[in-house]
Amino acid sequence: MEIRQLRTFQTVAKFLSFNRAAQELHYAQSSISAQIQGLEEELGVQLFDRLGRRVLLTEAGMRLLQYAEKILDLAEETPTGVAGARELRGSLTVKVPETLSVHRLPPVIARFRSMYPKVRLRFVSCTHDGLQKDLRKGITDLAFLLAESIRASDLEVEALGIEPLVLVAHPGHPLAARKEIRARDLEGETIPLSTVDCSYRKGLELVLGEEKVRYEAALEYNSVEAVKRCVMSGVGVTVLPEISVAEEVSRGLLKVLPWADEGLEAAALMIWYKERWVSPTLAAFMEVTREVLREAYGWAPRSFDG
């Protein structure tokens, strides 16, 4: 397997066209076909479904694309790591929950891009399932979670700050008139939940489980915004990071319910694989993240084993 073949495969996957890839790479189309065929024979799998002039990635092709992008990125970044080139290059793939992506990372990205404009950044919505596996395989370079902790002996975990959580409902919801809310008050309530902000929802589920509170959790969304809109329309109550609902609360569209049990909060965690070489590009992004979020949270970063 050659770098040249992987770059050709990546280009065909990008355009889903052998002809467009040939034009982009200045090869004859027969050369493109031969390189892809060689890859398929070496790996023993079909990488593309040919549908006339159209091609589609197979499941095996999608898996190879993840590895091909990382290999090509590493090849591009090698001069920086070996020769100490002054200008960082390459790319990073970062998994991040929606709240951090929307409210915390933009200043990080702005500062990083001003310092290292040649680095490509890919951000993927965070789901807790599969996160550790992707870090170990190198598909994901760095991940963030909103959680109390994560337990994995081969991962490095650094807490960057505390993200306050709040229980919110429509101002006209019956619970909005209460002076305090405890877990038992949520008995029978509909609780729309987000799947993309990873783990902080597990804290509420744990509290309700310990109190044996039965609630309706039939509404799950892959968007924090969708959860907010649902609750703003009068459907149930939910728990969300305070920063993600601050505007709606200030406009009177949502009301924070006075939670009287254990404090609702989650740590903003930065996570990477212990055994992986931390490239200059990754190290630079991590350092900029620490600096910016230290200012945002007003809290010095802390490291601990997962």
pLDDT digits (tens, 9 = 90+) for 253-288: 999 999 987 768 889 999 999 888 788 889 999 999
Distance, in Å, from the CA atom of 160 to the CA atom of 302, rounded to the nearest integer, reads 7
Same domain, 133 and 278: yes
Number of domains present in the structure of the chain: 3
Based on the fold, state whether residues 17 and 34 are members of the same structural domain: yes
CB atoms within 10 A of CB 28: 9
Residue bearing the bigger pLDDT, 76 or 292: 292
Co-location of 157 and 271 in the same domain:
yes
Terminal CA-CA length for the chain: 36
Same domain, 169 and 184: yes
Q: Is residue 303 scored above 70 in pLDDT?
A: no
Q: Which residue has the higher pLDDT, 206 or 85?
A: 206
Sorted by sequence, the CB contacts under 8 Å of residue 41 that are 6+ apart come out as none
pLDDT band at 144 (very low <50, low <70, confident <90, very high): very high
Nearest one of 232, 242, 169 to 200, comparing CA atoms:
242
| Strand-strand pairing, 155-169 and 193-194 | unpaired
Give residue 306's pLDDT: 47
Last residue of one domain, picked from the residues 45, 63, 81? 63
CATH code for the domain of 300: 3.40.190.10
Q: What is the pLDDT of residues 37-55, one digit of tens each?
A: 898 889 999 999 987 777 8
Pairing of the two strands 237-241 and 155-169: antiparallel
- Residue 235: give the domain boundaries: 164-264
Residue 173 shares a structural domain with residue 46? no
- How does residue 115 score in pLDDT terms, banded at 50, 70 and 90? very high
Average pLDDT of the residues in 124-146: 80
Shared domain for 128 and 44, answered yes or no, is no
Place 24 in a pLDDT band, splitting at 50, 70 and 90. confident
235 shares a domain with 280: no
Question: At residue 302, does pLDDT exceed 60?
Answer: no
Structure token digits, residue 35: 């390189």
Burial class, 234, CB count within 10 angstroms (exposed 0-12 / middle 13-18 / buried 19+): exposed
The stretches of the chain forming alpha helices (DSSP H) are 3-15, 18-25, 29-43, 59-83, 98-103, 105-115, 131-137, 200-210, 224-232, 242-250, 280-297
Question: What average pLDDT does the chain have?
Answer: 86
Higher pLDDT, 118 or 203: 118
Residues 146 and 278 in one domain: yes
Strand pairing category for 265-273 and 220-221: unpaired
Q: Which of 48, 63, 78 is the last residue of a domain?
A: 63
Residue where one domain finishes, among candidates 36, 63, 90: 63
Both 104 and 18 in one domain: the answer is no
* Residue 170 sits in the same domain as residue 110: no
We report the CATH number of the domain holding residue 25 as: 1.10.10.10
174 shares a domain with 50: no
Residue 4 is predicted with a pLDDT of: 86
Q: Is 163 helix (H, G, I), strand (E, B) or coil?
A: strand
Statement to judge: residues 211 and 156 lie in one domain: no
